Structure 1
Amino acid sequence: MANISFAQNGLTPFQQLLGHNKDILEKWTSLEECIFSSNTFSAELKEEVRRTLAYNNGCEYCMAKGAPSKNIMGLRTQLAVHAADISTRKMHIYDDEFSALKEAFTDSEISELLALICFITACQRFGALLGLEPSCQI
């Protein structure tokens, strides 16, 4: 059970927690659509980043959707998952880690990847702070 009531606004339990503030919900959902509709990264890369962050951010709702994969084959996905992991553990990406990112991604892609990581982290921390659980039903 979530720590606050679900609002009437929103289609999912997460959205209904944001739905107490309709303007924030609309803008948040718009940003989410923008980020996830981008074709810059594969669906696999985005999902592996989300799974890694779910466990690091302690979001029960998101963890229920699956654990991080143990064998990630693609270099770009491996680097993205590593960036997600270190961003939540130490809040700093060192020069050698940035060098590795720059070998596989353009500056534009790095910017988008870090925006993806920060957005997912914000979503998951919001859910975790409000006690959003996999069993929460609207």
Structure 2
Amino acid sequence: MTNISLSSNGSTPFQQLLGHNANIMNAWNNLGEILGEDNSLSATLKEQVRRTLAQKNGCEYCKAKGKPNPDLFDEKTSLAVGFAEVFLKQRGEINESFFQVLKETLTDREISELCAFISFTTASQYFGAMLSLKPTTE
């Protein structure tokens, strides 16, 4: 059971928690869609990063979607997932040397997108954790 009731707005339990404030839910959903799709980085890469973050950010709903799948990792995905793991340990205080490693493979545009995705995903997962969002049992 969640810490607050689900609203009638939204198509997922996560959205229904945000749906108590429809404007926030709509803006959050729009940003999530933009960040989650293929841009400078692939949606597949970002899904592996999301799964990595979910293992430590405390949202059971997010964890239920699975662990990272190393079979899907290419060089960029390995680097992005590794950076997400560093973020989880350092909590934002990331040494410049880690960015130098990223710059060997990723462009500034890709690094910016990765950091935005990690930040947004972490906020989403914290929101789910704060409100005790659990996976649905169907």
TM-score when normalising by structure 1: 0.91
Given the alignment of the two structures, is residue 55 of structure 1 paired with residue 55 of structure 2, yes or no? yes
- For residues 105 and 130 of structure 1, the distance between their equivalents in structure 2, rounded to whole angstroms, comes to 35
Secondary structure (helix, strand or coil) at the match of 1:104 reads coil
CA distance in 1, matches of 2:98, 2:62: 27
What is residue 133 of structure 1 aligned with on the other side? 134
CA distance in 1, matches of 2:26, 2:37: 16
| Letter matched to residue 116 of structure 1 | F
- 2:76 is the alignment partner of 1:76: yes
Report how far residue 79 of structure 1 moved.
Answer: 1.0
Distance in structure 2 (CA, Å) of the matches to 1:33 and 1:47 = 12
Q: For this pair of structures, how many residues does the alignment match? A: 137
Does the CA-based 8 Å contact 1:2-1:136 persist in structure 2?
no
Q: Aligned residue for 1:96? A: 97
Counting aligned pairs with the same residue, the percent is 52
**Deviation for aligned residue 1:56:** 1.3
For structure 2, the 5+ residue unaligned runs are none
Q: How large is the RMSD of aligned CA atoms in angstroms?
A: 1.6
How far residue 86 of structure 1 moved from its aligned partner, in angstroms, is: 1.4
Query: What is the CA distance between 1:107 and its match in structure 2?
Result: 0.7
* Partner deviation per Cα, 1:59-117 (whole Å, 9 max, x = no partner): 11011111123456411111101111111221222122111100111111101100000
Matched with 1:106 is 107
| Pair 1:87 & 2:87 matched | yes
